[in-house]
Amino acid sequence: MNTLDCLVYISRSKLTHEISAQELADIVKVSAFLNAQASITGILTLQDGYFVQMLEGAPAALDLLMIHLHFDERHEDIVVVARERISRKQTVGWAMIAPPANREPHSQLSKLLANPSASIAPWRTALLELVADPA
Ligand SMILES: Cc1cc2nc3c(=O)[nH]c(=O)nc-3n(C[C@H](O)[C@H](O)[C@H](O)COP(=O)(O)O)c2cc1C
């Protein structure tokens, strides 16, 4: 059976506010291309000056991506806040997805950023809500 991990990290964005939406779109585009080759899927958002990214995939593939991420100068102070073994992905089909640029900040995600949970579940709930179609 294929082993799968889910991890969530937060990092401080170094993007200037004016161009952050376009830069985020660029990151998502490149990430989706690269992640597809590594069978990684996930969600990325930028809120309160922090990136929050949930990544799902093979443990070794996630370890390798985290090394690349540490060298990326578009962010700093990367902290993996939660990492768990999972039996199935919640982000199948999303090599990388971000909420629409005009989406309101998610209040629960702001609370999590202020007081990070070591459990995946609350992050996953907030991120899935952010990318869900508005009712
Ligand atoms: C916030 C953020 C999230 C990123 N997410 C991913 C990702 O999910 N997958 C990926 O391959 N690269 C991602 N990148 C880009 C990587 O940091 C890196 O540029 C990319 O893997 C190419 O690696 P290289 O520049 O060493 O060739 C992300 C970058 C940032 C700033």
CATH number of the domain that residue 11 is part of: 3.30.70.100
Ligand 1 geometric centre to CA of 135 (Å): 31
Q: Containing domain of residue 66, as a range?
A: 4-131
Place 1 in a pLDDT band, splitting at 50, 70 and 90.
Answer: low
Q: How do residues 90-134 score in pLDDT, each as one tens digit? A: 999 999 999 998 899 999 999 999 999 999 999 999 999 999 976
Domains of the chain: total: 1
Tell me what pLDDT residue 17 has: 82
Tell me what pLDDT residue 121 has: 98
Residue nearest to atom 5 of ligand 1 (CA): 31
Q: Which of 7, 10, 31, 76 to mutate to test the pocket of ligand 1 (most atoms within 8 A of CB)?
A: 31
Contacts of 80 (CB under 8 A, 6+ apart): 7, 8, 9, 66
Residue nearest to atom 1 of ligand 1 (CA): 51
Q: Which two tokens stand for residue 55?
A: 């990544």
Name the strand (E) or helix (H) holding 109.
Answer: helix 107-114
Quick one: which of 119, 7, 134 has its CA closest to 69?
A: 7
Tell me what pLDDT residue 110 has: 97
Burial of 116 (0-12, 13-18, 19+ CB in 10 A): middle
Ligand 1 geometric centre to CA of 21 (Å): 16
Cα separation, 118 vs 135, whole angstroms: 30
Q: Is 65 in the pocket of ligand 1 (CB under 6 A)?
A: yes
Other CB atoms within a 10 A radius of the CB of residue 57 amount to 25
Q: How do residues 27-77 score in pLDDT, each as one tens digit? A: 999 999 999 999 999 999 999 999 999 999 999 999 999 999 999 999 999
Q: Is 75 in the pocket of ligand 1 (CB under 6 A)?
A: yes
Cβ–Cβ under 8 Å, residues 15 and 72: no
Tell me what pLDDT residue 18 has: 83
